[in-house]
Chains A and B, each alone.
Chain A
Amino acid sequence: MNESIILLDRLHFAFNVIFHYLFPQLTMGLAFIIVVFKSIALYTKNEAYNRAVRFLIRLFAVNFVFGVVTGIPMEFVFGTNWAEFSRRTGGVIGNTLAMEGLFAFLLESAFLGILIFGEKRLAPVVHWFAALMVFIGTWLSGFFILATNAWMQHPVAYSIDGTGRFSITSLPEMLTNPWLFWQYLHNMNATLITASFVVASIGAFYLLSNKHIESARLYVRNAVIIAAVATVLQIFPFGDGEARQVFKHQPIKAAAMEGIFHTQKGAPFVLFGQPNMDTLTLDNPIVIPYADSLLVTGKMDGEIKGLSAFPKEDWPDSVPLVFYAFHAMVILGSLFALIMLTALFLLWRKKLFPSRWMLWTLMLSAPLPYLATISGWITTETGRQPWLVYGLMRTAEGASPHVSSGNILFTLLGFTFIYLLMGILFVTLVIRLITIGPPQESEPIKLTQEGE
């Protein structure tokens, strides 16, 4: 297969999926926060929570629409650009992808309508139930998509026929893929981090501008508590668990992530550096001695396999990208825990709301979890190369055999243009939404104001 075709197809998919995932990573986490707010409102009968959550629901709805609109192409591009991959693996991953549409997508769409339009008409407990169902729908959706990805990372429950076609042998086994456990926890917890940072950021913005104080305090307080828990859990046990399974099952990816070129005992943890692919060394390294061996094997002098222990044709084609993406994620993840633990401490000492510097930090850090999540996914997907299905099917075999590079470039450029427009539109709408803000205390309920 022509290399330029593969490269274009990969860029095509990467661009589409990264842009798409900007939206679900917020909606999945935000759905949880909405449930938290609705539950507190229901339990304590505190109307302030109901007022505050109405704005979050509107924010959710805008993100949801963009998520759906950019999500439909994902189901198509498997077939359009990766036809040979679809032909061979459709018998397995077709199951989980179809289940996502049939169960999760329908569930979320159905109850979202009720969540948006139903508060006036329905009993509080029914409205709370709708929020719960939207939460379950979005997290189920994430589950089926991750089950698909987990199978590509760590294939289970399949058989292969003479023409290279995979067939599923056990659906329950595919859905309980051991790989999925840490990946699901790690990824869903990441959505909580994204959403809580965004909610904290909006709250901090209102506090700093002295508007919507009542709702803003609820946003900041609850988001900081959720984020503090989530950021710590993300490092241990979720991030740790995910990293361990990569070291165990995908040692080449692990070596690329950590920038370890040669097998060594007592490997250091690299904080910073640039992989040099000519000399197979790390330029400008800043390291913590022995830390990597200690983390992975539990022993100071534990052996860590380096890239050179494996045949070069099995290396990821861009080791530096895997290295940078992984380090960006780890450094950002540590920073998140630091920020949120500090904020939590200030909250406990009742000094958070007057600390303008901390509010500024919260307000400005909203984009960072997006960066961390994208980095994490680049690590796992670029690190899986050169495999499409780990150990079984190479990426070079997967593209559509009859689609020329000119046609791929044409649609890639088209998507770029459309997503650029949609990105601008999205930002405009969100800014408008934030400018209007949550309803004030004396205001009557205006649920459908400004449409959805």
Chain B
Amino acid sequence: MEIFWFIVLGVLLTLFIVLDGFDFGTGIIYHFIAKTNDERRTVLNAIGPIWDGNEVWLIIAGGALFFAFPTAYASIFSGYYLALILLLWMLMFRGLSMELRSQISNPLWHSFWDAMLTIGSVALALLLGVALGNILRGVPLDADGFFFLPFWTNFKTGVYPGILDWFTVLIGVFSVVILAVHGANFIALKTVGIIQVRARKIARKGIWIVILFALFIPIASYMVQPILLENYKLYWGGIVLLVLSFLSLLGLIITRYKDNDLYAFVSSAFFIVLLMLNVAFSVFPNMMIATTNPSYNLTIYNTATSEYALRTGLVWYSVGAFFALCYTLFMYRSFKGKVSLPKEGEGY
């Protein structure tokens, strides 16, 4: 039962990162692909109607963590206190920037919210990567199952690191790059003309940076947290995951250079899914690895709620998730195809 909820949690987080990831990515490359007000409004209309639906998955994932693994939820949320509050503030500003930009027709007002969108998107992509980096590296858990991390200490990994150290920042920057590529693929798919040309160009350049990181990060992860290799030694499935990750990256390069926008977008989505699968596979069954003492590790077994709750949750969560999925599909269907620029004063 615990394993099932670990998978559910992984699926929800991955859905969030793949879906909201491309609208973060769009925010990151926003100033490079859209220069005039009309271009910017076109881009905003591509993500405007769906961003909040994408963000719902974060809420649902947070809810699932709270409900299924309350001990882990409590430890993680209080331990990453500063990073999470910062994440919240960025989410707020980013959401407001898209909704409020169109409210007043003034170039300065537009520029301000445009800047907020990009700052918020870069910061969010960075923070999400840093969060993953922290999960991989481990945190200084105490005997009581709690910890607290300052933003940074000396940027070195070790027993008492900060939220930011060289390793987590590396993953953070990687996350910015990969989401930028993912966002560029999405925009290339949703637009035509000059915006599409620019988005394709950015995606192509980005891929090479992704490859550079992809070569280096597995080695860095092993250096920082040797435990991560254990599951790959134990189970043959790990090799499959690595091969698939490599193949999806290869697919991304080929489809992008053939300018097949749909498949390029699908490839970058798959690549992100596989990265998440690798993370989940390498840390399992831990929720949080302790840098202090391996016996303090928070696992899915010592943080889960009662068997009754996990079982009843299975019923109502399945029903709810089914509705959520229908809603998401319906939403994407309603806004499928290329965006057209609505009249001034309408849309975003």
Q: Which residues of A contact B (CB under 8 A)?
A: 65, 68-70, 72-73, 75-76, 78-81, 83-91, 94-95, 97-103, 105-107, 109-110, 113, 159, 165, 167-169, 171, 400-404, 407, 410-411, 414, 418, 422, 425, 429, 432, 448-452
Closest to A449 in B: B345
Residue of B62, B81, B99, B321 near A407 (CB, 8 A) is: B81
Does the CB pair A106–B56 fall under 8 Å? Answer: yes
Does the CB pair B100–A167 fall under 8 Å? Answer: no
Does the CB pair B63–A75 fall under 8 Å? Answer: yes
Q: A75-B63, A102-B60, A171-B312 are in contact. Are A80 and B77 (CB under 8 A)?
A: yes
Within the complex, the shortest CB–CB distance from B20 to chain A, in Å, comes to 13
Question: Which of A80, A109, A450 has most chain B Cβ within 10 Å?
Answer: A80
A352 to B327 Cα, complex, angstroms? 45
Interface contacts beyond A75-B66, A110-B330, A429-B100: sample of 5 additional A-B pairs, CB < 8 Å, sorted by A = A65-B99, A79-B74, A83-B146, A91-B67, A402-B147
A159 to B305 Cα, complex, angstroms? 12
Within the complex, the shortest CB–CB distance from A81 to chain B, in Å, comes to 7
Does the CB pair B305–A110 fall under 8 Å? Answer: no
**Minimum-distance CB pairs A-B, first 10:** A90-B70, A79-B77, A98-B63, A94-B67, A102-B320, A83-B78, A167-B306, A402-B148, A400-B78, A87-B74
A90 to B66 Cα, complex, angstroms? 6
Question: Which of A79, A403, A448 has most chain B Cβ within 10 Å?
Answer: A79
Mask for B301-336, Cβ within 8 A of A = 1, else 0?
000011011001100110011011001001100000
Given the complex, which residues of B lie within 8 Å of A167, measured CB to CB? 305-306, 308-309
Given the complex, which residues of A lie within 8 Å of B317, measured CB to CB? 98, 102
Pick the interface stretch among B31-39, B86-94, B178-186. Answer: B86-94
Question: Which of B66, B306, B323, B324 has most chain A Cβ within 10 Å?
Answer: B66
Given the complex, which residues of A lie within 8 Å of B79, measured CB to CB? 402
Decide yes or no whether B75 CB sits under 8 A from chain A.
yes
Q: A99-B320, A105-B59 are in contact. Are A422 and B96 (CB under 8 A)?
A: yes
A451 to B97 Cα, complex, angstroms? 13
Does the CB pair A110–B327 fall under 8 Å? Answer: yes
Q: Which residues of B contact A (CB under 8 A)?
A: 49, 52-53, 55-56, 59-60, 62-64, 66-71, 73-79, 81-82, 84-85, 88-89, 91-92, 95-96, 99-100, 102-103, 142, 144-148, 305-306, 308-309, 312-313, 316-317, 320-321, 323-324, 327, 330-331, 342, 345-348
Closest to A401 in B: B146
Within the complex, the shortest CB–CB distance from B307 to chain A, in Å, comes to 9
Given the complex, which residues of B lie within 8 Å of A403, measured CB to CB? 78, 81, 148
Within the complex, the shortest CB–CB distance from A21 to chain B, in Å, comes to 17
Given the complex, which residues of A lie within 8 Å of B148, measured CB to CB? 400, 402-404, 407
Does the CB pair A76–B320 fall under 8 Å? Answer: no
A103 to B317 Cα, complex, angstroms? 9
Given the complex, which residues of B lie within 8 Å of A168, measured CB to CB? 305-306, 308-309, 312
16 A-B pairs within 8 Å (CB atoms) are namely: A69-B92, A78-B77, A86-B70, A87-B74, A91-B67, A91-B305, A94-B309, A98-B63, A105-B56, A106-B56, A110-B330, A113-B49, A171-B312, A410-B82, A432-B103, A448-B345
Given the complex, which residues of B lie within 8 Å of A95, measured CB to CB? 67, 309, 312-313
Q: A86-B66, A99-B320 are in contact. Are A414 and B305 (CB under 8 A)?
A: no
Within the complex, the shortest CB–CB distance from A109 to chain B, in Å, comes to 6
Given the complex, which residues of A lie within 8 Å of B312, measured CB to CB? 95, 168, 171
Q: A69-B96, A99-B316 are in contact. Are A83 and B77 (CB under 8 A)?
A: yes
Given the complex, which residues of A lie within 8 Å of B145, measured CB to CB? 87
Does the CB pair B78–A113 fall under 8 Å? Answer: no
Given the complex, which residues of B lie within 8 Å of A401, measured CB to CB? 78, 144, 146
Does the CB pair A97–B74 fall under 8 Å? Answer: no
Within the complex, the shortest CB–CB distance from A286 to chain B, in Å, comes to 45
Closest to B92 in A: A69
A97 to B65 Cα, complex, angstroms? 11
Does the CB pair A90–B67 fall under 8 Å? Answer: yes
Closest to B144 in A: A401
A103 to B70 Cα, complex, angstroms? 20
Does the CB pair A414–B89 fall under 8 Å? Answer: yes
Does the CB pair B77–A76 fall under 8 Å? Answer: yes
Does the CB pair A109–B78 fall under 8 Å? Answer: no
Within the complex, the shortest CB–CB distance from A218 to chain B, in Å, comes to 26
Closest to B62 in A: A75
Within the complex, the shortest CB–CB distance from B165 to chain A, in Å, comes to 19
Given the complex, which residues of A lie within 8 Å of B60, measured CB to CB? 98, 101-102
Residue of A76, A86, A410 near B84 (CB, 8 A) is: A76
A99 to B319 Cα, complex, angstroms? 11
Within the complex, the shortest CB–CB distance from B299 to chain A, in Å, comes to 15
Q: A171-B312, A402-B146 are in contact. Are A72 and B74 (CB under 8 A)?
A: no
Closest to B335 in A: A113
Does the CB pair A109–B53 fall under 8 Å? Answer: yes
Given the complex, which residues of B lie within 8 Å of A79, measured CB to CB? 66, 73-74, 76-78, 84
Does the CB pair B88–A76 fall under 8 Å? Answer: yes
Within the complex, the shortest CB–CB distance from A442 to chain B, in Å, comes to 19
Given the complex, which residues of A lie within 8 Å of B84, measured CB to CB? 76, 79-80
Question: Which of B53, B77, B317, B345 has most chain A Cβ within 10 Å?
Answer: B77
Closest to A70 in B: B92
Does the CB pair A90–B73 fall under 8 Å? Answer: yes
Closest to A79 in B: B77
Does the CB pair A448–B346 fall under 8 Å? Answer: yes
Residue of A69, A83, A418 near B74 (CB, 8 A) is: A83
Given the complex, which residues of B lie within 8 Å of A69, measured CB to CB? 92, 95-96
Within the complex, the shortest CB–CB distance from A101 to chain B, in Å, comes to 4
A352 to B205 Cα, complex, angstroms? 69
Closest to A172 in B: B312
Does the CB pair B305–A90 fall under 8 Å? Answer: yes
Closest to A448 in B: B346
Residue of A91, A103, A407 near B320 (CB, 8 A) is: A103
Within the complex, the shortest CB–CB distance from B179 to chain A, in Å, comes to 20
